[in-house]
Amino acid sequence: MREEIRSVLSGAESIFGVRERVGQWRDAKETIALVPTMGNLHEGHLSLIRLASQHARRVICSIFVNPTQFGGGEDYTSYPRTLQEDKKKLGAQGLVDLLFCPSERDIYPLGAETSVEIKVPGLSSELCGATRPGHFSGVASVVCRFLNITTPDTLLLGEKDYQQLLVLTRMIEDLKFPVTVVSAPILRESDGLAMSSRNRYLEVRQRKLAPRLHVELEQIQKALRKGASDYHLLESEALRSLKKVGFRPEYVEVRRASDLAKPNGKARRNELVVLAAAWLGKARLIDNVRA
């Protein structure tokens, strides 16, 4: 096991430095995995890095709070930035060869508002895309840049952001990036709440209530496994239940896992995923379970 982060690159020379380091690894015939993050690292991120180390000889972790995936009124300026704490966690884990912390100017040299955009039609306008217009274009655009800079063999993504996982997989397939996507299951707190950097927005009372989102998804999951096929009824009951206890749900929906299309009553259970997004105070929580 490596005892520390071997290199941290940031500032004006960071992109050149990453490409130089990657070139050295390529010359040595070493494989490379990328774990892109926005920092404020938790055990979910660290689990992705552990998985990355199993798939490649070299591991790159990036930390970049991407302005183009935040909409108006969202938490870009207040998003938790904890770089020194993140470095300590990565150093203690000892699996990261290169920590890449570019500036906004490094990633968007002509300005974020006038940068080239990558759009993934269809998938990007569903669910979270319907309530956060432009979000997935921002995600796809920044990940496309990171893939171009780091040229990894493997990209590690978490399944908590299930729609994001599908959007980025589609982009990689369509643009013919020579990258394998590896996804990791959702890591949860002991009470079932999906780990997320935004959980720190929850007040004490809200934190106790937050696992209810996962409970409602599990209820739908159980109903589907018993043969229920009235998806609208299941969704409506979950929405009512969440509102009753204090959530402001954006959606609870049963979708086809492969492409997020709305399934018909003949869909097989193993083809389905149940997804939800809901506000609890200042925290926007997302979660999903496979049926």
Write out pLDDT tens, residues 35-76. Answer: 999 999 999 999 999 999 999 999 999 999 999 999 988 999
What's residue 3's pLDDT? 46
Measured between alpha carbons, how far is 152 from 163 in angstroms, rounded to an integer? 22
Q: Which domains does the chain have, with CATH numbers?
A: 7-184 (3.40.50.620), 197-290 (3.30.1300.10)
Low-confidence winner among 4-18, 42-56, 174-188, 207-221 (lowest mean pLDDT):
4-18
What's residue 4's pLDDT? 60
Say if residue 267's pLDDT is above 90: no
Model confidence, pTM: 0.95
Say if residue 1's pLDDT is above 70: no
Span 162-182, average pLDDT: 98
Tokens of 83: 């770089």
Burial level of 91, CB count in 10 A (0-12/13-18/19+)?
middle
**Which residues are part of the catalytic machinery?**
45
What's residue 269's pLDDT? 86
Residue 13 — very low, low, confident or very high, per pLDDT cuts 50/70/90? low
What tens digit of pLDDT does each residue of 111-132 get? 999 999 999 999 999 999 999 9
Measured between alpha carbons, how far is 11 from 14 in angstroms, rounded to an integer? 5
Say if residue 164's pLDDT is above 60: yes
Measured between alpha carbons, how far is 171 from 118 in angstroms, rounded to an integer? 8
Helices 43-55 & 83-93 angle (0-180, nearest 10)? 40
How many CA atoms, within 13 angstroms, populate the side-chain half-sphere of residue 68?
23
Measured between alpha carbons, how far is 8 from 204 in angstroms, rounded to an integer? 35
Say if residue 217's pLDDT is above 90: yes
Parallel, antiparallel or unpaired: strands 272-280 and 283-290 = antiparallel
What's residue 266's pLDDT? 74
Percent of the chain with pLDDT over 70: 96
Q: Which of 50, 6, 52, 15 is nearest to 150 (CA)?
A: 15
Say if residue 265's pLDDT is above 80: no
- CB atoms under 10 Å from CB of 258, counted, come to 10
Q: Which of 7, 9, 14, 8 is nearest to 106 (CA)?
A: 14
